[in-house]
Amino acid sequence: MALRFFNTYSRKLENFAPRDPGSRNVSIYTCGPTVYSRAHIGNFRAYIFEDLLQRHLELRGYKVHRVMNITDVDDKTIRGACDAKVSLSKFTEPFKQAFFEDIKTLRIKRADEFPAATDQRYIDRMIEMIGVLIARGLGYQAEDKSVYFRINKFPNYGKLAHFDLTQLQSTGRVKHDEYDKEHIGDFALWKAWDEEDGDVGWESPWGRGRPGWHIECSAMATALLGDRIDIHCGGVDNIFPHHEAEIAQSEGVTGKQFVRMWLHCAHLLVDGQKMSKSLGNFYTIPDVLTKGYTGREIRYALMRVHYRVPLNFTWEGMKEARESLGRIDDWLQRLREIAGDELDKSKIDNHFGHEFGDALDDDLNISAALGFLFETIRETNRAMDRNKLDAATAAGWLNWWNRINEVLDFESGTRHFWFRPLEVTRSFDSSDALPEEVSKLAEERMQARLAKDFRKSDELRDQLNALGWEARDTKDGQKITRRVGV
Ligand SMILES: [Zn+2]
């Protein structure tokens, strides 16, 4: 099946091909966090979807160049800095760092670039673009000294959101200066400085001020990825006005189609409701970690539902994520025991499990892809129960897993410790020490088995279990395993 995605612009599934025919290079721009507070799990649902997109494209042999911006100047960041009585950069820095920590916890691949809106390079680019828009009649400075985009002059305005401009009405949230605009839908390209901005501001041909949020993305996207971008992503709440405005500004300047495909991720709900601080169902990544869950469990829970379907986050769902990952862990362990040395010999065999990639080709149908994975686990487990799975087949499935795990990144940090009659303890990862108590019990158990004292050996197994360690007897000796979450 051809690789295809649902393009918000056309509201259709379209086959994907990079803008340069024959090229394997794909450029992706994703709207990043506004660093005025710690991002919440709803934000991370979108970042996980973008991670899945990038990794699947890479699995299909594309070379992805991804840019994710950091919005570090807007109304919220300025208000935050003002309330905290610190400079804007001092206020936003901890939230930037927290964001990078969280994406690491969730195993989200880092973008190639994380441009920040306050970087002078991009401020210059924003000013340059606004100048071009004014020269073309697409922008104007109003009496309040702010510069606005004239939406009536851009015929395609509203196309992405499938929005009728005549329906644009005052939302009641307009500031007093909104009355200076020619059309209620005209959005700010450059906001004139006012007292609330404190010391935040840049000089421009239109006076001191700061960029509007939308122009930040147009400037950073075109500066780093060029006039035409293959894929632009974000959450559905970004479609209007943010992405609509990005199109108008970018195309208004370059005269070229800004983005080939727009992909948007649906909302995240918590217990069936919109997440909000007042409902007490607002969670950050550390909030979920504090409940005892791990980064990979959160990753699983946020990834498992198709990106265009609203995802309902529940604690029950977190438990299911843990169980599902446990099944994968157990399956891999069984396969590895059967595969043994065969794993080193076997070559990648593409006959194994092409259904997984096929499902992702179909607009990233992760539910179908995971359905296939768990069906495979069921079937191969059944075969292993009956001793009907040979080493070469086990190795084949392991190779397949290694390939799909490049996309999923679900593998645990499982550590194994071997207890063998000759080699007392060998650990795969010497940086991990086996707790002394566990080591002593495992050693005793090995001796008990050598003495064929199976009753004692079973008792010791129970004691190990109680400490959170699993003892398995394999043809290579006793293997002690503990699952660590990340
Ligand atoms: Zn953006």
Question: pLDDT tens, 4-61?
Answer: 999 999 999 999 999 888 899 999 999 999 999 999 999 999 999 999 999 999 999 9
Mean pLDDT for 360-386 is: 97
**Cα-to-centroid distance, 217 and ligand 1 (Å):** 5
Task: Give the Å distance between the CA of 91 and the centre of ligand 1.
Answer: 21
The two tokens of residue 442 are: 């495992």
Least confident stretch, 175-184, 367-376, 411-420, 423-432: 423-432
Residues 6+ apart with CB under 8 A from 338: 384, 389, 390, 391, 394
- Residue 265 Cα, ligand 1 centroid: separation in angstroms? 14
The confidence band for 295, taking pLDDT boundaries of 50, 70 and 90, is: very high
Retrieve residue 227's tokens.
């006039």
Beta bridge partner(s), residue 481: 416, 470
Q: What is the Cα 31 distance to its own chain's centre?
A: 12
CA dihedral for 354, 360, 363, 366, sign (positive or negative): positive
Structure tokens at 75: 């109304």
Average pLDDT, the chain: 90
**Distance (Å) from CA 31 to ligand 1 centroid:** 4
Which residue is associated with the tokens 């299909």? Answer: 60
Query: How much distance in Å is there from the Cα of 39 to the middle of ligand 1?
Result: 15
Query: Residue 241 Cα, ligand 1 centroid: separation in angstroms?
Result: 10
pLDDT, tens digit (0-9, with 9 covering 90-100), for 454-481: 899 999 998 888 887 888 887 667 878 7
Residue 158: the pLDDT is 92
If you measure from the C-alpha of residue 418 to the centroid of ligand 1, how many angstroms do you get, rounded to a whole number?
A: 51
From ligand 1's centre to the CA of 239, what distance in Å?
Answer: 10
Q: Report how far ligand 1's centroid is from the alpha carbon of 470 (Å).
A: 48
Q: Kindly give the distance from the C-alpha atom of residue 266 to the centroid of ligand 1, in angstroms, as a whole number.
A: 16
Angle between helices 120-135 and 213-225 (to 10 degrees): 100
On the 0-12 / 13-18 / 19+ scale of CB atoms within 10 A, 72 is buried
Please give the distance, rounded to the nearest whole angstrom, from the Cα atom of residue 246 to the centre of ligand 1. Answer: 7
CA of 314 to the centre of ligand 1 (A): 29
Ligand 1 midpoint to CA 444 (Å): 60
Residue 50 C-alpha to ligand 1 middle, in angstroms? 14
The per-residue pLDDT for 470 is 80
The CA distances from residue 118 to 10, 96, 129, in Å, are 33, 13, 16
Residue 245 Cα, ligand 1 centroid: separation in angstroms? 9
| Calpha distance 19→25 (Å, rounded) | 9
- CA 361, 365, 367, 371 dihedral sign is negative
CA of 214 to the centre of ligand 1 (A): 6
Instruction: Tell me the CA distances in angstroms from 34 to 31, 37, 380, 413, 436, one per residue in order.
Output: 9, 8, 46, 32, 47
pLDDT of amino acid 431? 37
Residue 100 has pLDDT above 60, yes or no: yes
Predicted structure pTM score: 0.84
Over residues 315-335, the mean pLDDT reads 95
* Residue 483 contacts residue 291 (beta carbons within 8 Å): no
- For residue 166, pLDDT over 80 is answered with no
Quote the ligand 1 centre to 37 CA distance (angstroms). Answer: 17
Ligand 1 center to 237 CA (angstroms): 11
Distance from Cα 277 to the centre of ligand 1, integer Å: 24
Query: Distance from the CA of 30 to the center of ligand 1, in angstroms?
Result: 7
Please give the distance, rounded to the nearest whole angstrom, from the Cα atom of residue 382 to the centre of ligand 1: 48
Between 439 and 81, residue with greater pLDDT: 81
Q: What is the pLDDT of residue 179?
A: 63
Q: Which tokens hold the place of 362?
A: 């179909």
